[in-house]
Structures are given as C-alpha cells and as structure tokens.
Amino acid sequence: MGVVWLAQRVDGNFDQQVAIKLLKRGMDSQAILKRFLQERRILAKLQHPNIVRLLDGGTSASDRPYYVMERVEGETIGDFAKHRQLSVAARIRLVAKIADALAYAHAQLVVHRDLKPSNVMVDAEGEPHLPDFGIAKLIEDSDDAIRTGTGLQVMSPAYAAPEQLLGEPISTVTDVYALGLLLFELLVGELPPQRRVATPAQLALELAKETSTQVSATAQKLPAARITDLYGARGNARQLTRILSGDLDVIVGKALQRDPARRYASASAFAADLRRWLNGHPIAARPDSVGYRARTFMRRHRLGVAVASAERKDDVKLSSALQKAVEEDPSLRVDHVQDTGETVLEGQGEMHLRV
C-alpha cells in the first residue's frame, strides 16, 4: 500500500532522520486511500514509548498522501533475539512490552490485526517498537468491521487468528492470538505445525480443528544446530524443553486458543502472566493449588529451598507438599541430601536459558 523512505532534515537547524511513508503510485483506489488515511489517523492518536510516533503528514506535489514517522534504528525482533542469542526470559520481557503497547492501542479503540515478527523493531537499547499499523482497525469504525468479515484479506495469513481466516468477527483478543504466535516463534524459531501449510484455505481448515501444539513439544524436536543458532552453544533441547514445560506451555496455549472467549481477555492480562512467570509467581491461567504454589515458590527461590528434617506435624505437612511438587514437576529435582539431613531442591531457574 505504501513505500517507506528514509529522509534527512535539510533546513540546517538540526540533524534529524525520519521515515516517510508515501502512498504508492497506482494504488489510489478509494478503498486503499481510505485505509492509508486511516493508518495516519490511528498513528496520530497513539502516544506510547513502544509505538512509533507520527511526526507530520500531508500531500505530496504529485497529490499522494504521506506521513512522517520517527525512525527506529534496529532489527526485527526475531533477528535481534537471534543475533544476541537472548535467553528465554529476555525474549519474554520483549513480548511483555509489546503486549503493553497493544493494551494501550486497544484502550484507544485500535486493533492492530497484523502483528508478526517483521512488524516489530527492536532498537540498540533493546526497546521494542510497533511501526506498522497499515491494516489496523478502529473498533468504532463499523463499516470496516463489515468489510473485514467479507473475506477481504487485509492480513498476513501465516500470523492471522482463526477468526480472521474464517471471516468471523475480530476484536482485541485477535491481537492476543497473534502475540501468542509471535512468542511461540520467538521461543523455538518456528511457528506451530498447524501453521506450516501451503495456502490460506488449508490453514483455515487446520485452524478450525480444536488441536494445538505445546511450545515445549516443538522445542523437544528441535535439532541441536537450531537451538545453538537461537540460544548459543549453552543451550540444548532437553534444557529448553524443561524451561518451556509447565507454566509457559499454559500461557502460550491460552493465548492460542481457537475460541476467542477462551484466550486471555486482554493484552494486559497476557503481559501480567508473562511477568508472573518471570518473577516466579503463580500464573492466573493455571488453576490454583497448594502443590502448584509450592512449585512456584521453589522456582522463585531458585538458589535452593532447604527443608529441615520433619520433627513436628507442620514440618511433615510442608515436606509432603514439597515432595508432591517435585513428583508433579520434573523441572524441580532433589539435588542431594546433606549430612545434616536437609534435603536441597533446585529448579529450572538457574539454567542460562531462563536468566
């Protein structure tokens, strides 16, 4: 729809480089012109540190509309993570910030609709930015909603939510699904198996099924060379699988639910669970239990949880809860029994990929 140019300010007052998006020649139909102007209008109302700022706009001498954006010097999020061999936790922190930006956009009644790795830039300081709202939708724009439901594919099929592919109504949780896909690919370097089909029609058929693949299951099958490429020589499939199993599987799986009503209700709820995982706290997407809280406690205190020999009834209850936690979660293991009779348990938190 538009072509983006790098531009340099030349009035001599100060140095500044910006990005100018100009409507392509020949793409001046009323529908495309309306979408371009809507993108400009959307960017004008969004003021967030992780969304590219609109600086100016107008019409060129050739009567084509344009707008001027701040320039983000950096890489796409996938390249940034790969080139720096970011840890799992560092990747999740990036996605949580993107979720914050989406939550802000949603509060301004804007749905992005085209979130994918190539549409997220990360600058040299490690801050992610959303630069492209080319097919974003204003929620109050009812005629746009109708047009979306007619099968007009204003989307990237590989990253589209099921409701987009099937011509069903879209909403803010459509972006939550795309964010889940982005996280999946960022963690294991590829999309879920259901996404690896030839055509949008085949993809729609696959996504109509109530099936999904856990991100840890994909990690388990990754060749060593792929994991080294993603995380460096310190990573391996067993280690990565152990980190992704459990809560991260639940978080990603909830974001990728076929039924929009079963996903996270908002991008902010998704971000909150990601940060709970980062901090070792129980996530909202998983049913609560004593055993689950014991497991998250042990992971949060990953330098080791020492349990003294049970001499009182309360100690027996605590030891039983911790033992049950270890049995339910293989990422927590009994490292050794000290001479003092204290059992030391350590979790996945000490592994490089987590940090």
Considering 45, 70, 95, which residue would you say is the last residue of a domain? 70
In a domain, 355, yes or no: no
In a domain, 186, yes or no: yes
Which pLDDT does position 335 carry in this prediction?
Answer: 38
Are residues 254 and 295 part of one domain? Answer: no
Are residues 212 and 199 part of one domain? Answer: yes
Chain-centroid distance, C-alpha 211: 20
Catalytic residue numbers, as ranges: 114
Are residues 117 and 10 part of one domain? Answer: no
In a domain, 131, yes or no: yes
Considering 219, 253, 278, which residue would you say is the last residue of a domain? 278
First-to-last C-alpha distance (Å) of the chain:
41
CATH code at position 92: 1.10.510.10
Token pair belonging to 118: 């190539």
Are residues 159 and 224 part of one domain? Answer: yes
Domain that holds residue 256: 74-278
Per DSSP, the three-state class of 2 is: strand
Evaluate whether 329 touches 282 at the Cβ level (below 8 Å).
no
Evaluate whether 48 touches 90 at the Cβ level (below 8 Å).
no
Which pLDDT does position 284 carry in this prediction?
Answer: 94
CATH code at position 56: 3.30.200.20
**Whole-angstrom Cα distance, residue 324 to residue 304?**
17
In a domain, 83, yes or no: yes
Evaluate whether 243 touches 205 at the Cβ level (below 8 Å).
no
Are residues 112 and 61 part of one domain? Answer: no
Are residues 33 and 103 part of one domain? Answer: no
Are residues 12 and 39 part of one domain? Answer: yes
Q: How do the pLDDT tens digits run along the chain, 355 residues long?
A: 567 778 887 777 777 788 888 887 766 677 778 878 877 888 888 899 999 888 888 888 888 888 888 888 899 999 999 999 999 999 999 999 999 999 999 998 888 888 999 989 999 999 999 987 655 665 555 444 333 333 345 678 888 898 988 888 989 999 999 999 999 999 999 999 877 766 777 777 776 665 678 999 999 999 999 999 999 877 789 999 999 999 999 999 999 999 999 999 999 999 999 999 999 999 999 865 555 555 565 555 554 554 444 444 455 555 565 565 555 554 444 333 333 333 333 334 334 555 4
Considering 256, 278, 300, which residue would you say is the last residue of a domain? 278
> How many domains are contained in the chain?
3
In a domain, 306, yes or no: yes
The 3-class SS string of 94-126 reads HHHHHHHHHHHHHHCCEECCCCCHHHCEEECCC
> How many C-beta neighbours within 10 Å does residue 118 have?
13
**Whole-angstrom Cα distance, residue 20 to residue 2?**
10
Are residues 156 and 80 part of one domain? Answer: yes
Are residues 221 and 122 part of one domain? Answer: yes
In a domain, 178, yes or no: yes
In a domain, 284, yes or no: no
Which pLDDT does position 213 carry in this prediction?
Answer: 80
Backbone region of residue 39 per phi and psi (left: phi > 0; alpha: psi in -120 to 50; beta: other values):
alpha
CA distance to 24, 25, 69, per residue, from 62 (Å): 11, 9, 20
Residue 83 φ/ψ, nearest 5 degrees? -65, -30
Handedness of CA 119, 123, 128, 133 (dihedral sign): negative
Spell out a b/e string for 209-232, using b for 16 or more CB atoms within 10 Å of the CB, else e: eeebbbbbbbbbebeeebbeebbe
**Whole-angstrom Cα distance, residue 97 to residue 121?**
12
Are residues 223 and 102 part of one domain? Answer: yes
Place of tokens 């209008």: 41
**Degrees to nearest 5, angle at CA 153 with 152 and 155:** 145
| Burial grade of 345 (CB within 10 A; 0-12, 13-18, 19 or more) | buried
In a domain, 285, yes or no: no
Spatial neighbors of 87 by CB under 8 A, at least 6 apart, are 231, 352, 353, 354, 355
Are residues 207 and 269 part of one domain? Answer: yes
Are residues 127 and 219 part of one domain? Answer: yes
Evaluate whether 84 touches 229 at the Cβ level (below 8 Å).
no
